[in-house]
């Protein structure tokens, strides 16, 4: 990218310019970390109907061109004058709610093209998830902030500026977002929060699943069934699997995404990879909240419209809280974020409370306290941290599976392309007792999973349970995790899905076996293919 960002000279390069030196710091070379896009080159984002008649929707999520120079974020310029404490949505009182409503009222009343308006705020999400901008340095590829290590940091920055804008609109520097505490299965967090429900409020959005209003419990795995206590146990196990056992940066946060990474056009080996927090419980809440009768499961069920629902920001506030919890608050001591410079130096654009365009870096987002906000301790976290799923099987299922003709599936490319249909059960080689370093995790890799994202679909993974199907309960140690795919019709996705499986094998008592039975259960009606299955230490 050249030195002119949106027609304005970047300050850092201005000096070279006035000195008359024809000296570019980095432009024209392909930078490896993701850079900020050229906002003047915006195209219509596209989406198509998911249910009902097929329609293609062209969405103009193009962002306003700022009138002043781009601001480079520094902690000095954005000094936190006071600490914001983000509270659980189900616990805040009427004054808090009144101020919250007022803030969104003011945001909704700003002119659409104001960078601080609710419409623009929602478009910021649409723009970076439905292909409005090309990657800086590789304009053959669209910029996408989901499905990779960019996910947590990008959404943290997004909320940071969103919150600052709301605070400045109500003139209260202590204004803080709430978090939707959907993981809380004991103290009332696991419902659609009441503060977002009154239809006459600025926090209301009509496009939500009307079957999921209180007292319906959230489902952290799509389509789980059972009575309330069975749902609760399945929710707790979803949290335990996504948060506790996926304990390295790649498994939890997602994998590499650099300039040139292409979601639609990747090969098995180059496929980007979302983390367990994104693919699992986060995507499940998007699906659960969106209106299933809308063509695109709007608003929350598709990224294009998700941020048109004020509940979105409370949902992501919890995802953000869980990132901190994962990093600092789980047994075994602090966990590490990625330290790769290609991660740390990735850059994004957001608008601040003055309507200025700000350029931020991932590395400045890693410490929420430096950004001036935090979350209270949530006692109910202990329930999922200590969920300790018990197995429903004992002994290896391999001999019986082999006798009944269950196929062996190995690593790509020896299998060719395998269609999953409604599911696949296979015998897969496991590393068993081979030695590993303490830093390594036993991981199942679903290689080269490919799907066209025409409708919402989930792939549930079970081990040692060859009879698994779409009604199998996910509360036991045999449940490994779920890969949920948010629809974006017409767009294909290739991914290597990775999930920690060692804890499951230990609990069942089959950690020394050289082979295990793995089942992939597909919920939804979208053809999915894979290239191979692999279990190894990583
Ligand atoms: Cu940008 Cu919850 O998605």
pLDDT tens for 55-97 read: 666 678 899 998 889 999 999 999 988 899 999 999 999 999 9
| The two structure tokens encoding residue 443 | 């991981």
Question: Sorting pLDDT into bands at 50, 70 and 90, what band is 151?
Answer: very high
**Residue of higher predicted confidence among 27 and 249:** 249
Q: Please give the mean pLDDT across all residues of the chain.
A: 91
Tokens of 281: 């419980």
Q: How far apart are CA 125 and CA 128, in angstroms?
A: 6
Judge whether 8 counts as a catalytic residue: no
User: Is the Cβ–Cβ distance between 532 and 411 less than 8 Å?
Assistant: yes
Taking the CA of residue 283 as reference, the ligand 1 atom at the shortest distance is 2
Residue 76, number of CB atoms within 10 A of its CB? 6
Mean pLDDT of 266-272: 68
pLDDT of residue 156: 98
Query: Ligand 1: distance of its center to the CA of 262 in Å?
Result: 18
Entry pTM: 0.92
pLDDT, position 103: 98
* Contact between 487 and 302 (Cβ < 8 Å): yes
Q: Is it the case that residue 21 has pLDDT exceeding 80? A: no
Establish whether residue 286 lines the binding site of ligand 1, counting it when its CB lies within 6 angstroms of any ligand atom: yes
Q: Pick the residue whose CA is nearest to atom 3 on ligand 1.
A: 303
Q: How far is the CA of 488 from the centre of ligand 1 (A)?
A: 13
pLDDT of residue 67: 83
- Predicted confidence at residue 81, as pLDDT, reads 84
Q: For 5-14, 98-107, 128-137, 314-323, which range has the lowest pLDDT when averaged over its residues?
A: 5-14
**Confidence at residue 296, expressed as pLDDT on a 0 to 100 scale:** 76
Ligand 1 atom at minimum distance from 286 CA: 2
User: What's the rounded Cα separation, in Å, for the pair 440 and 334?
Assistant: 16
Q: Which residues contact 109 (CB under 8 A, 6 or more apart)?
A: none
CA of 498 to the centre of ligand 1 (A): 20
Catalytic, out of 90, 162, 282, 315 = 282
Active-site residue, 316 included: yes
Contacts of 403 (CB under 8 A, 6+ apart): none
C-alpha separations of 303 from 265, 298, 406 in Å: 20, 9, 38
Span 169-191, average pLDDT = 97
Instruction: Say whether 315 is catalytic.
Output: no
Q: How far, in Å, from the CA of 207 to the mean position of ligand 1?
A: 17
Query: Percent of the chain at pLDDT above 70?
Result: 91
Secondary structure letter of residue 42 according to DSSP: B
Longest dimension (CA), the chain: 78
pLDDT tens string 365-421: 999 999 999 999 999 999 999 999 999 999 999 999 999 999 999 999 999 999 999
């Amino acid at each position: 990218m050249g030195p002119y960002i949106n027609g304005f000279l970047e300050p850092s390069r201005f000096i070279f310019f006035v000195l008359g030196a024809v000296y570019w710091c980095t432009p024209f070379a392909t930078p490896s970390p993701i850079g900020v896009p050229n906002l003047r080159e915006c195209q219509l984002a596209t989406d198509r109907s998911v249910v009902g008649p097929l329609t293609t929707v062209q969405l103009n999520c193009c962002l306003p061109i700022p009138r002043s120079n781009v601001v480079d974020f520094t902690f000095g310029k954005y000094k936190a004058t006071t600490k914001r404490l983000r509270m659980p949505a189900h616990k805040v009182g009427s004054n808090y709610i009144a101020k919250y409503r007022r803030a969104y009222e003011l945001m909704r009343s700003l002119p659409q093209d104001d960078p601080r308006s609710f419409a623009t705020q929602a478009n910021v999400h649409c723009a970076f998830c439905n292909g409005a901008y090309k990657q800086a340095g590789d304009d053959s590829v669209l910029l996408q902030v989901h499905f990779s290590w960019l996910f947590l940091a990008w959404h943290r920055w997004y909320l940071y500026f969103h919150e600052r804008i709301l605070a400045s609109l109500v003139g209260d520097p202590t204004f803080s977002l709430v978090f939707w505490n959907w993981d809380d299965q004991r103290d009332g967090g696991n419902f659609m929060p009441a503060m977002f429900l009154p239809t006459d409020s600025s926090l209301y959005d009509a496009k939500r699943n009307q079957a999921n209003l209180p007292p319906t419990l959230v489902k952290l795995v799509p389509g789980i069934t059972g009575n309330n206590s069975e749902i609760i146990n399945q929710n707790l196990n979803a949290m335990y699997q996504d948060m506790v056992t996926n304990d390295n940066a790649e498994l939890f946060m997602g994998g590499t995404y650099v300039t040139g990474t292409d979601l639609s056009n990747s090969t098995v080996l180059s496929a980007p990879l979302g983390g367990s927090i994104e693919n699992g419980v986060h995507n499940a809440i998007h699906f659960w909240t969106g209106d299933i009768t809308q063509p695109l499961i709007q608003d929350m069920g598709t990224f294009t419209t998700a941020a048109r629902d004020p509940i979105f920001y409370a949902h992501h506030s919890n995802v953000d809280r869980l990132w901190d919890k994962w990093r600092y608050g789980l047994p075994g001591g602090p966990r590490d974020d990625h330290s790769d410079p290609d991660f740390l130096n990735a850059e994004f654009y957001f608008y601040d409370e003055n309507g200025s365009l700000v350029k931020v870096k991932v590395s400045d987002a890693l410490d929420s306290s430096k950004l001036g906000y935090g979350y209270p301790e949530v006692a109910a976290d202990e329930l999922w941290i200590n969920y300790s799923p018990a197995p429903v099987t004992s002994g290896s299922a391999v001999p019986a599976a082999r006798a009944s003709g269950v196929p062996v599936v190995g690593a790509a490319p020896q299998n060719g392309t395998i269609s999953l249909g409604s599911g696949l059960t296979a015998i897969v080689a496991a590393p068993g007792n081979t030695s590993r370093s303490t830093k390594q995790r036993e991981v199942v890799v679903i290689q080269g999973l490919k799907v066209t994202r025409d409708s919402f679909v989930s792939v549930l993974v079970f081990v040692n349970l060859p009879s698994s199907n779409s009604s199998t309960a996910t509360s036991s140690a045999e449940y490994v995790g779920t890969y949920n795919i948010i629809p974006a019709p017409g767009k294909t996705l290739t991914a290597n899905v990775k999930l920690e499986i060692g804890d499951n094998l230990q609990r069942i008592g089959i950690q020394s076996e050289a082979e295990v039975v793995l089942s992939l259960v597909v919920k939804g009606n979208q053809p999915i293919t894979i290239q191979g299955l692999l279990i190894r230490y990583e």
